[in-house]
Amino acid sequence: MLRIAIPNKGTLSQPASQMLRDAGYRQRTDPKDLICRDEANNVEFFYLRPRDIATYVGTGDLDLGITGRDLLVDSGVAAEELVDLAFGGATFRWAAPAGTIVSADQIGGRRIATAYPGVVERYLADNELKADVVRLDGAVENAVRLGVADLIADVVETGATLRQAGLVTLGEPLLRSSAILIGRPGHTAAGAAQLFRRLQGVLVARSYVMLAYDVRADLLENATALTPGIESPTVSPLHREGWVAVQAMVQRASVHRVMDELYELGARAILVTDIANCRL
Ligand SMILES: Nc1ncnc2c1ncn2[C@@H]1O[C@H](COP(=O)(O)OP(=O)(O)OP(=O)(O)O)[C@@H](O)[C@H]1O
Ligand SMILES: O=P(O)(O)OC[C@H]1O[C@H](OP(=O)(O)OP(=O)(O)O)[C@H](O)[C@@H]1O
Ligand SMILES: [Mg+2]
């Protein structure tokens, strides 16, 4: 049975479960459950702290896990990123009170508060800098105001928490994080290929829509140049002489622009539908 670690709490927990549900796996119904067996798919899910997930996967006690890229780096565990799951996006950044520390080359010798000491120490080592790392559990934005640090290094999503604490970011992000599927280097667990295909199916279904439209046959080349699809668009004859129907997958993010351009070209009956799931 494939054994998979997923977050039991926190920002990544609910979207990780939702993604697995969308991929056809059974998930816990009670948020306090710590194990869920999916007999039909021969998979067992273990609900664990996202920070601990790399440890279980790195030792080989669990086959695969879903965690954040920043948490994997912070753990220092030799587990590897297999798939970027495209949710839980955030940056990991330096921040300090405005006007105090203005660039990342000024952090040497300072006190840095963080809940991710592994990420910070890796940056310091890579950049041959020395600084005091003050390890905190959370609410790190308060650390400067309370006097235990000169700057912080923390997860930034909207930036609202930083603004509230009177802090501004400095320099480039130390890393860009999102939820990832991790595994043990050199190990492919039995049954993992099916999970990868299903997750890829969900990722594609989330980022593409199906576009259908009617267009005059003499405009077909121009129209399909706008909607080349992934393999190739499907073109079918219409009962109306000189017209064809076209179907193609289009990136969700660009579908409104593509629809505008198709309409201007002369296409009509332009319809967008969601893709529930797919195997390409
Ligand atoms: N707004 C956010 N706040 C915190 N973590 C976020 C956010 N957006 C994405 N993440 C990602 O979620 C992971 C951290 O999850 P974790 O459960 O450890 O903390 P949390 O969601 O802040 O929950 P808690 O603080 O209650 O423990 C990291 O990979 C982080 O990059
Ligand atoms: O940029 P934002 O959208 O404001 O989000 C980022 C903030 O959210 C998280 O805090 P959380 O509420 O999880 O508290 P914590 O510090 O105790 O983990 C994170 O640690 C940052 O503080
Ligand atoms: Mg938090």
Q: Supply the CATH number for residue 257's domain.
A: 3.30.70.120
For ligand 2, atom 12, which residue shows the shortest CA distance? 139
Identify whether 103 is part of a domain: yes
Same domain, 20 and 70: yes
Same domain, 215 and 148: no
CA 149 to chain centre: 31
Same domain, 83 and 97: no
The pLDDT assigned to 142 comes to 96
Same domain, 148 and 170: yes
Q: Is the CB of 19 under 6 A from ligand 2?
A: no
Amino acid occupying residue 86: A
In 50-205, beta strands by DSSP E: 64-68, 80-84, 90-97, 111-114, 132-135, 151-156, 167-177, 179-183
Same domain, 76 and 14: yes
Q: How far is the CA of 140 from the centre of ligand 3 (A)?
A: 9
Q: How far is the CA of 156 from the centre of ligand 2 (A)?
A: 7
The pLDDT assigned to 149 comes to 98
Identify whether 156 is part of a domain: yes
The pLDDT assigned to 56 comes to 98
Same domain, 118 and 257: no
18 phi and psi angles, rounded to 5 deg: -65, -40
Q: How far is the CA of 185 from the centre of ligand 2 (A)?
A: 31
Digit-by-digit pLDDT tens for the chain (280 residues) are 999 999 999 999 999 999 999 999 999 999 999 999 999 999 999 999 999 999 999 999 999 999 999 999 999 999 999 999 999 999 999 999 999 998 998 999 999 999 999 999 999 999 999 999 999 999 999 999 999 999 999 999 999 999 999 999 999 999 999 999 999 999 988 889 999 999 999 999 999 999 999 999 999 999 999 999 999 999 999 999 999 999 999 999 999 999 999 999 999 999 999 999 999 8
State how far the Cα of 23 lies from the Cα of 5, in Å rounded to an integer.
16
Indicate which CATH number applies to the domain containing 125: 3.40.190.10
Same domain, 261 and 154: no
Identify whether 78 is part of a domain: yes
164 phi and psi angles, rounded to 5 deg: -60, -35
Q: Is the CB of 159 under 6 A from ligand 2?
A: yes
Q: What secondary structure letter does DSSP report for 25? A: -
Number of the ligand 2 atom closest to the C-alpha atom of 160: 4
- Token pair listed for 110: 């300072």
Q: Is the CB of 12 under 6 A from ligand 1?
A: yes
Same domain, 30 and 71: yes
Residue 109 CB-density burial (10 A; 0-12 exposed, 13-18 middle, 19+ buried): exposed
- Which positions ≥6 away from 135 have C-beta within 8 Å? 114, 115, 117
What SS3 state is found at 213? strand
Identify whether 201 is part of a domain: no
State how far the Cα of 69 lies from the Cα of 193, in Å rounded to an integer.
21
For ligand 2, atom 6, which residue shows the shortest CA distance? 156
The pLDDT assigned to 93 comes to 98
Number of domains in the chain: 3
State how far the Cα of 252 lies from the Cα of 270, in Å rounded to an integer.
15
The pLDDT assigned to 190 comes to 87
Q: Is the CB of 125 under 6 A from ligand 2?
A: no
End-to-end CA distance of the chain: 26
Same domain, 171 and 182: no
Range of the domain at 131: 90-176
Kindly report the pTM of this predicted structure: 0.94
Q: How far is the CA of 104 from the centre of ligand 2 (A)?
A: 21
Same domain, 168 and 234: no
- Which positions ≥6 away from 27 have C-beta within 8 Å? 17, 20, 21, 36, 45
Cβ(149)–Cβ(135) under 8 Å? Answer: no
Number of the ligand 1 atom closest to the C-alpha atom of 89: 9
Same domain, 183 and 83: yes
State how far the Cα of 120 lies from the Cα of 125, in Å rounded to an integer.
9
